Each structure stands twice: as structure tokens, then as C-alpha cells.
Amino acid sequence: MNINDTPEQAKFRRDIRAWIKKNVPARLQGRRQGIVQGPGIPAEEYAPIRKALIREGWLAPSFPKEYGGAGFDALQMIIFNEEFQRAGVPGPPGGTGGLNNVSQILFKYGTEAQKQRWLLPGLKGEITWCQGYSEPGAGSDLASLKVRADKVDGGYVINGQKIWTSMAHKADWIYLLARTDQNAKPRQKGISFFIFSMKTPGITIRPIITIDDHHHFNETFYDNVKVPEDALVGKLNEGWTVAKALLVHERLNHIAANPQVLGEAIQNLKSAARSTAQNGGMLWDDPDLRRRVVQLEMDADSLRATRYRSVTKISRGEVPGDETMVFKSFGCELFQRIVAVHHEVVGPAGVIWGNDLFGEDAGEIAMHACNIRAATIRGGTSEVQRNVVSKRVLGLPDVGPGSRSD
């Protein structure tokens, strides 16, 4: 990608900027969005903006127009997101509730009826999703999963247990991997990809409460859950290909690997350092701290430039290179480093949960310092990502299980 816009891109950018100016009241622009990406604007004030976004097909702008999107290509998406970021306005919730990831799969593997059933309602925010991949004993080594789906008259019957099923207690639908051929060799060949309603009889959801006292995770149990024939997405026993394609999207779109979000987190860190007094001056006067922050900025810029390179290839119809394999782990680890330095800047206040005592940043930092650990685990751990790079890019010998990378 040319770092400078072409005349066409410049016009596109101006149009997005003008739209934001017209549809987002000035007092709501520039609202601080938090260290990660809080709404920053109260829900009731955001509602009319959301409606305007839906009218334009901008809630998921990369969707084709016939499915309610705007048909933006990868480069247009970068400009679109940059402009929302620049204006300090929370943009469309691209990845919310798995919408973005599962939609990409439906575009590629879904039948027309499946697309009609799930894409538009998903886009309008009428349905939410959860992911049923991991099991006790099948996380990194996902291909060893044991949940089974047996063919019966009119559909399949699903039995077994999943774990870490994020937001299962709120989701309307689940996309789930199940073993449909018990004897397949290699194991990946006997897995299929299903979508079904979380209201289907036989599903039990048991909460797992995390360190931050939130209910995000669940164990989910499937006891003779009968799903229809058309719950199957893609071909029978070829679900591994579908599952992997979804994981690629999950890793590419991971919020913590988004250079704009990283850039914003660094800006927040800098303002905290600029406004914290130390030894008669400000923390930001400390040359060592500034050197470390500059290093973080350089790393975020490298990620941004490398992503531009991949996106340019995608927009030319080419396949992006091996660099995409490091986006998730590099971005998430960089995010952890940013939060660690911010935590240090906030000082002892950073261990307080809640904002009352030490001003509005403090509680948020403590929470993110805990939450950000999860970024290098979900969607494939950093160690497993490194295995992928060692095997596929560097040509080193296989190191055994870790089949999320196979």
C-alpha cells in the first residue's frame, strides 16, 4: 500500500470524514475510548449513530451489499477504521459476538439459505454467537476433540462437553466442532462444523467466573442434542478446513493486534505519564521511560506497515505471505508490554479495582493488566503460533501436538 492515499482513496477518506461530522455530534467526537475500546459514549447517545451506520450498511462494511454491508475492500476498511479512530468515535462493532468471523465462513462455505438465515439478522444485531471449539483436553491440540455428532434420521445428535465457551449464556447460536467419523485418520478428517440454536433441548450451560469477577466463560454440555441436517456448514467430515479458516480470521481481526487500538493505548499511556508528577517534574521527563515508549511506538508502526503490506496483497487478489502468522502473537504481546508500562506509570493505584480513589484510569489499568493475559491464549496460544512459524516458515521439525496450527 502506498502510505499516501491515491486521489480515489483521498476522496473516500473525505467522504467518511464528512459522514462522521454530519452524523456524530461534535460533543461526542474525541470521546476517550478507554485503554482497550470501551464505548466512551453512553449507549442511549450511541443508538442514533448505530442506526445511521446500519442505514449505510456500515455496521459490517466489508459485507457485500446484498447481505446488508457496504462491500468495502480491505484498503477501504483500513481508511474507514482510521477515520473513526481519528475522530475518537467508536466505530462499528466488527468482531462483536463472533459476527465478523462466522460471517466470513458463511460467505465461503454456507449455502444460500444459511447465508440468508444468519447474515442479515447478525448484521442488525438481532442474533449473537458463541464458539464451541475447545474441550477439556482439546485446546491447542484441538484435533483431539471428543464431542461427537451421530447421523440420525433428519439430522445429527450431538453429545459431549465443551469448555471456555465465551458468552454461551447470552448467545443465540453456536458454531461447534464435532467428530463425525470416529475412525478417521488423520483425526482432522473426521470433524464437522455445525451451527445450531443455543435453545436446542439438551444443552446445559455452567458458568466459570474469572479472576476479574466476570461471567464471560462457560462449560457447555450437550446431551442428545438433536440438530437438523442443515446445521452442517460445509461438507461432512471436512469441518477442519472450515474451522481453520475461521481461526485465521479470528487471529487477523484480533482486537489486540489492531494497530489503531495499539496506537490509542500508547497515546493513553503517554497522557498518563505527562500528567503524573514526579520529583518536581512529570514522569514523562524521564528519558528511560520515553525511550521505552518510543520502542513500543516503533513496534506498533512496524505491525501497521506489515499489515498494510498484507492488506495490499489481499486487495490485489493475491494471497498474503507468512507475515500474517505473527500478527496475533506480536500484536497481543505488544499490547501486554504497553499495559505493563502503563501499569508502572500509574504506580500503586494500578492495583485498585474501580475508579473511585485514584482517578478514572486506575481501576481500568488493573482490570486490563489482568485481562490482557488472555490475549496470548485465546484463538491459539503464542507458543502454538511460534510452532507454526517454526514449521511452516522456518522449515524446522514438527514439535508434536498443537493441532490448532495443523
Ligand X SMILES: Cc1cc2nc3c(=O)[nH]c(=O)nc-3n(C[C@H](O)[C@H](O)[C@H](O)COP(=O)(O)OP(=O)(O)OC[C@H]3O[C@@H](n4cnc5c(N)ncnc54)[C@H](O)[C@@H]3O)c2cc1C
Contacting residues toward ligand X, per CB under 6 A: 130-134, 139-140, 164-166, 374, 377-378, 380-381, 383-384, 387, 399-402, 404
Least distance to ligand X, CB of residue 372, Å:
10
How many angstroms separate the CA atoms of 261 and 2, rounded?
A: 21
Q: How far is the CB of 43 from ligand X (least distance, A)?
A: 23
C-beta of 76 vs 165, nearer to ligand X: 165
Closer of 132 and 190 to ligand X (Cβ): 132
Q: Which residue is nearest to ligand X (CB)?
A: 139
- Which residues have CB under 8 Å from 277's CB, separation 6+? 283
Give min distance, CB of 152 to ligand X, in A.
25
Distance CA 182, CA 335 (A): 41
Least distance between ligand X and beta carbon 139 (Å): 2
Beta-bridged to residue 155, according to DSSP, are 152, 228
Q: Which is nearer to ligand X, 30 or 137 (CB)?
A: 137
**Least distance between ligand X and beta carbon 147 (Å):** 11
Residue 390 CB, nearest approach to ligand X (Å): 10
- Between 16 and 158, CB nearer to ligand X: 158
Q: What is the rounded distance in angstroms from the CA atom of residue 138 to the CA atom of residue 136? A: 6
Shortest Å distance, C-beta 104 to ligand X:
16
- Closer CB to ligand X, residue 78 or residue 102? 102
Rounded to a whole number of angstroms, the minimum distance from the CB of residue 349 to ligand X is 25
**Least distance in angstroms from the C-beta of 133 to ligand X:** 3
Nearer to ligand X, 370 or 377 (CB): 377
- Four-point Cα dihedral 157, 161, 166, 170, nearest 10: 50
Residue closer to ligand X by CB (options 81, 166) is 166
Give the nearer residue to ligand X in terms of CB position, either 161 or 306: 161
Q: 114 vs 144, which CB is nearer to ligand X?
A: 144
